[in-house]
Amino acid sequence: MAEIYALKTSEITEAERRHMKLSRALAGECVVLLDNDGTLPLKETGKIALYGSGARRTVKGGTGSGDVNSRFNVTIEQGLEEAGFTILTKDWMERYNKKREKALADYNVWIEEKVKENPTRRFAVVFSNPFLEPAPELVRDSDLKYKETDTAIYVISRNSGEGADRYCREGDYLLFPEEIENLKILGNAYKKLIVVLNIGGVIDMTELKKIPGINAVVLMSQLGNIGGNVLADILSGEVTPSGKLTDTWACRYEDYPSSESFSHNDGNVDDEYYTEGIYVGYRYFDTFKADTVYPFGYGKSYTDFAVNPTDVSQRENRIQVQVQVTNVGLFYPGKEVVQVYVSAPMGELSKPYQELRGFAKTSTLAPGESEIVTINFAMEDMASYCEKCAAWVLEAGEYVVRVGNSSQNTEVAAVFVVEKTVKTKQLKNLFCQTEGDAERLNEIMPKIPPIERGSGIGERVILNTSLLQMQEVRYQGVREEFHTDKDRPLTIEDVLGKNCTVEELVSQLTVEEMAELCVGTLRIGGNSLVGNASYLVPGAAGDTSSVCRKSRGIKNMILADGPAGLRLQPHFKTTKDGKLLPGGEVFGENVAPFDPEYDSMEVDDYYQYCTAIPIGWALAQSFNLSLMEQAGDMVGEEMEQFGIDLWLAPAMNIHRNPLCGRNFEYYSEDPFVSGKAAAAITKGVQKHKGKGTTIKHFAVNNQEDNRYFTNSHVSERALREIYLKGFEIAVKESQPLSIMTSYNLLNGIHTANSYDLIQALARDEWGFEGTVMTDWFTSQELPALTGESPRKYPISASTGCIYAGNDIQMPGCQKNVDDIVKAVKEGGELDGYRITLADLQFNAANVIRVVAKTMQ
C-alpha cells in the first residue's frame, strides 16, 4: 500500500494556525494605498456601512490551477467584524448575495446546455466561459446609514483565471454603471468613503477618479484565505501600508501599446505580434510621456519619507548606490521602497527612458528615524542586447542613475560615462523569426532630448569598463550516447552514494523504460481533471513515472499546482487497503459528492488543508524579497507535510497587457521584479531538502484565449530583455529544480519543442541544472480541452520535446510513449523531428538527476 501523507483528522492543526498568522503578517506589506486625504487610518472601530460585490464574496485568488482549496476564506465582512467593527448594511449584502446565487444558477444551466452540444468538452466550455459576477444592487435610500455612521466602505471585486482572457467591458476592466452610480450616491451621503479594490489585475480608474466624495482608495488585491483580516489591519492602522505598484495604470485601456491587437481584441487569436518590442509598461509610458493614473512603483503610506542619495560609486565591476531614508511624518511608523533606475544612452540601439536596476525596502521606521539602504547592481546589468552582433553591449555614452520611490518620482544621483562601446557577453542568434516578421517587429526609435538624460548635472564619472571580462558561451553539440563498463544493475542509491554517475545508470535502461520516465502517468489511471492527475496525493497535478522504482529505486515525483499555495483535494476517502474512492474533487465552486454508500462501508477519511498565500501580483507589490522567501518557506513546509516534490510555481510571465486572464498569478510588467520575486520564493521553498519549484510558463505565455495554439511573434531583443530576463534571473540566483514550458508557439515553434529556448538558452547560456517539463496536455490531442480541428497550428510533438530537451511530457498519454519508442528504434523523422538514443538518454538523465535531489 502506497504511503499517504494526508492527515486523518479534520481538526485545524497548529501548523495551519502558524501559517495563517505568518501569511497575515506578510500580506499587510502587499497592500498598496493609492489615494488618501487623511481619512485613513480610521481612528477607532465602530459602526460602518459596507457595500460592494467583494464585501461578502471576497476573492482570495484567481481561478484554475492557481486556486488553492483552503479550509476557509475570511471575507472583508468577517475580517472587519472580527476587528470590532459593526456593519450596518447587512440587508444590502443579502440582496446582492441572492442576486449572485440566481446568476450562478442560471450560469450552470447555460453550461449544461452548451455541454449537451458536445459532452466531451465540458472542461473547455467552463474554462473558456468563466462565471462573471453580476452587477451590484443599486443602493437605495433605505440602505444609507449616514445617520448612524459617517464612514462607508465600497469593495470592488474582479476575478479571472486560466483559459480565458479578460475584456475591456463593463464589469471587467471597466466599472459597472451600477458601481459608478453607487459610488456617487455614497460619496454624497457619507463624510468618509473608502474604496477597496479586491482585484487580481489592473482596472480602469479614470471614471472612479472623477467621482466626488471618495476619500481613500486601497488596492487590497487578493490576499489568500485571510484577506479580510489583513484589510482590517490596514484600515484600522494596525499595519501601515507599504506596497508599491508593479504595473503602470493607464488613463485609458487604449493607451497600452498592445491594446489594439491583444488576444481577441482584433479577432485574431492565432497570431500575436509583439510590435511594441521592448516598450512594455513603464518603459513605454515613461519614454513616450504618456499620461498615467498611477505610475509603476507608486504607493502611498500613512506617513511621509525623505529619500536622499548619499553616495553612488563604482565598486570593481558593480555600481553601489547608498540612500538615506527618513520618516518625516509625525504620527505613524512605516516602510519605504527605494528604487534605482538607469537611463542608458541612445546609440545604434533604441533605449527606454529608464529601466529598474535595483530596489530595497527599509525596516519599519518610527517618525524621525532614518536608515541607510545600499543597492548594488552589476555593470553588465546596464547592457542592451544587439541582434546584429548577437551580444550584450554597453554602448558608449552617459548612463544616468536615478533614485526615487516610483518611476515618475526620481532624482538624478549620478552620471557614469562609458567611453567606448563594450561587449559584455557574446552569444548566438536564437528564435529565428518567421518570414515577414522582422519588418513588422522593427524596434521603435524614440527621440528623447539629451537634457532629459542628465545634461547639466555636474561631474560625470568615467566608468572603468576594463574590469569587465567578455563572456563567451559554449553551446551543446551533437549529443553522444552514454555507456558504462559496470556489469551489475545500477540503482539510484549508487548515484546518491557516488558509486556511479547518472549517465552510467541511464546507459543500462531500455528505450521503453526511458520513454516511460519522460512521460507522466495519467495514461495509467484513465481520465482526470486538469490539476488533479495524481494517484498518491489526491488533488495534486500529477506524478512522474515509477517504472524503474522497483528495479532501480527511481521514485516517482509528485507535482502540485500553485502559485498561491498548494492546490490539493481537501478531503478524500479510501478503502482500508488504500484504494482511492471517487468524490471530493474540487473544481471552482463545485465539489464532487461522495457516494452515500460509503457511510455503510469501512473507509478512511483523509484531509489536506493548505494555506492560500497572497497571489503573485500582491506578493511582488510588497517589494520585500525577505517576505517572499518566507512565503516560499511556508509552502516548502507544507510540501514536506503532504509529500509533494515539485511545486508548479512560481508563475512569472510578464504583464504585457492588463487583460491577460492569468496576470493575477504573475508578478509584474517588469522582468527585474519578476525574476527577483521568483528567485526569492524558490530560495524559500528549496531550503527544504528534496523540495523544488517549477518556474513557469517558459515563455511568452501572455494570452489565455486559444492558449494551446496561439503563435507569439517576438523580436529576439524583446525576448531577451523583457520576456526571458526574469527567468534568467531566477535560474542564476536560485537554480529551481524545474522549468515548465508554455502552451503557445514562439516564432512558429511550440515552446515545448524549442531547442533554442530549452537547451541553447536555459541550459547553455544560463547554466540551468534541473529538469524541464511541458504544461499539461501540450503534446496530446484532447478535444475536450483544445477544441476540434482544423486549427492553424498543430499540437507540439512528443519527438520534438525529446529533441529540445523537454524531459517530461505531462500529464502523459500512451501515444507520447509509443512515439518516442518508435522514433528512437526505427530512426527517421516522426512529426517533423528525428531523435536518437543519445537524445532520449539525455532527457532521462535530466529527470533522474532531479529525482535524486528529491531523495536527499
Tell me the three-class secondary structure of 231-267, residue by residue.
Answer: HHHHHHCCCCCCCCCCCCEECCHHHCCCCCCCHHHHC
Instruction: Please choose, from the candidates 394, 474, 479, 380, the residue with its C-alpha nearest in 3D space to the C-alpha of residue 428.
Output: 474
- The string of DSSP letters for 425-482 reads EE----SPPPTTHHHHTPPP-----GGGGTTT-S--EE--GGG---EE-----S----
- Chain centroid to CA 77: 28
Q: Which of 775, 807, 819, 839 is catalytic?
A: 775
Query: Which residues have C-beta within 8 Å of that of residue 633, sequence separation ≥ 6?
Result: 684, 685, 687, 688
d(Cα 758, Cα 766) in Å, to the nearest integer?
A: 10
Q: How many CB atoms lie within 10 A of CB 431?
A: 22
d(Cα 207, Cα 182) in Å, to the nearest integer?
A: 13
Helices (H) and strands (E) in the chain, counts: 24, 34
- The string of DSSP letters for 354-390 reads -EEEEEEE---B-TT-EEEEEEEEEGGGG-EEETTTT
> Are the C-beta atoms of 445 and 296 separated by less than 8 Å?
no
> Are the C-beta atoms of 297 and 339 separated by less than 8 Å?
yes
d(Cα 123, Cα 676) in Å, to the nearest integer?
A: 35
Place of cell 546609440: 347
Q: In what order do the strands lie in the sheet with 422-426?
A: 384-386, 391-394, 422-426, 471-472
d(Cα 267, Cα 261) in Å, to the nearest integer?
A: 8
d(Cα 665, Cα 682) in Å, to the nearest integer?
A: 15
Instruction: Please choose, from the candidates 54, 81, 26, the residue with its C-alpha nearest in 3D space to the C-alpha of residue 230.
Output: 26
619-633 core/surface letters (b: 16 or more CB in 10 A; e: else): bbbbbbbebbbbbbb
Pairing of strands 86-87, 47-51: parallel
* Three cell numbers, residue 108: 450552470
- The string of DSSP letters for 499-547 reads SS-HHHHHHTS-HHHHHHHTB-SHHHH----TT---SSSTTSSEE---T
The one-letter amino acid at 158: R
Q: How far is CA 841 from CA 556, 751, 768, 835, in A?
A: 18, 21, 18, 11
Q: How many CB atoms lie within 10 A of CB 737?
A: 26
Answer yes or no: 775 catalytic.
Answer: yes
Place of cell 525529446: 802
The one-letter amino acid at 593: P
Residues taking part in catalysis: 775
